[in-house]
Amino acid sequence: MRVTSSIADESDLQHLHCLLEFLAAWEKRPALLTPMAYRWCSTISEVAGRLKQESTSGSYTFSQLCFSFLRRIQRQRDPAPDLLFSTDEVEFFEVGPGCAHVHSDGLTLDDCADILSVTLEVGFRLTDRPVLHSNYTFHHDWALEVAFSNDNDEVVADAMCAWIADGDCVPAGSCVRHLAKRVEMDVPFSPRLRRVSIRVIECIWPGERRVSELETVRLLNRLDVDLDDMEKQDEWARLLECVVRSPTGLETLSSHYWWLLDKLEGVYVGSAFRGTAMRLLENAEDWEKLEVWMPIVWRSAHRYWSMQDFGRVTLNLLLRRPSALPRFEDLCETGRFDTTHRLELRRVCDQVRAELVLAPESLPQ
């Protein structure tokens, strides 16, 4: 009970911020701190919510915050949260008077934001993949606003780790929208923020529906996700297929993702969209994307689909990009599709070879 007692004792209340700073500096802090910090963040966010509601009647005092903090921890804590400190107790209790104090003349939202940032660091800075199963309510939207108002990408990454830490109950909210706004800054994402952002997208897609198509595409283009970054390739296949179905994605999604979509297994293109995308890309003369798209169409073709139109577009494509011919010829040999479709694709490839004979410099090796 020594840790909670240090919070409960009025003479130590002013050192709460000092305690958090110490824990944040503890390089070998145990994993048990993550669920504890998550609980603390929940309480801090709850108090901030009340402060916002009661701002007309004045701020809470610091004592009111701490006693509210204590009561919530005592009601909802794990069976033995104070087993946290063992061999490092002496080091902890060396921190005390003389440390930086938190305001004691009235709590403000700025105080809450400051405490929240340090608490997020305590619980989530040392891992990109925290896992906990919690019944606590974390006012995530306010926490994200606080984190994203900070120019420090590490603080942002901490908040997003907290967002997805409760894997059984990842909240629906505005996490991706905040990230999309971050894209508007010219400063690149830090390596950790990029990693965590990719994890967030994997966890909350397709539940996150508040983000516009343009924001989604801009975020993806900034992250430049590759196969090595993915944990759930099937989820990314569905995500990218969904994005390219939109007019914005079809037009502005980086070509990198079209090639990535081709690499992902299990991508199936519906009969309606396959033709629509093909015609739009052909009309726009976007031959690079069409070069990626047509093999996907051939591989996903149902045996009863008529491929005559697709043969025409493939012929048109290969005459303009003869360097792609070996890829389609290889598809004839290795692709798993109906014999009729294989023969049609072979006919197209042979016709391209024949027409390019008159221009030997255009023939691919």
Task: Express each pLDDT in 294-336 by its tens digit.
Answer: 988 888 776 656 677 889 999 999 999 999 999 999 998 887 7
| CB of 40 closer than 8 Å to CB of 70 | no
Helix ranges (H only) for 98-174 are: 109-124, 140-148, 153-165
Domain contains 205: no
Distance between the two ends of the chain, CA-based, in angstroms?
75
CA distance 160 to 81: 24
Quote the pLDDT of residue 350: 94
pTM across the whole model: 0.71
State which of 122, 142, 158 marks the end of a domain: 122
Domain contains 220: no
Domain contains 247: no
Over residues 216-230, the mean pLDDT reads 92
Domain contains 135: no
State which of 122, 149, 174 marks the end of a domain: 122
User: Residue 284 sits in which domain range?
Assistant: 268-365
Domain contains 173: no
State which of 122, 139, 160 marks the end of a domain: 122
Q: What angle do CA 188, 219, 267 make, to 5 degrees?
A: 130
Domain contains 329: yes
Domain contains 134: no
CA distance 54 to 311: 68
Domain contains 325: yes
Over residues 120-143, the mean pLDDT reads 75
**Number of independent structural domains in the chain:** 2
CA distance 3 to 89: 9
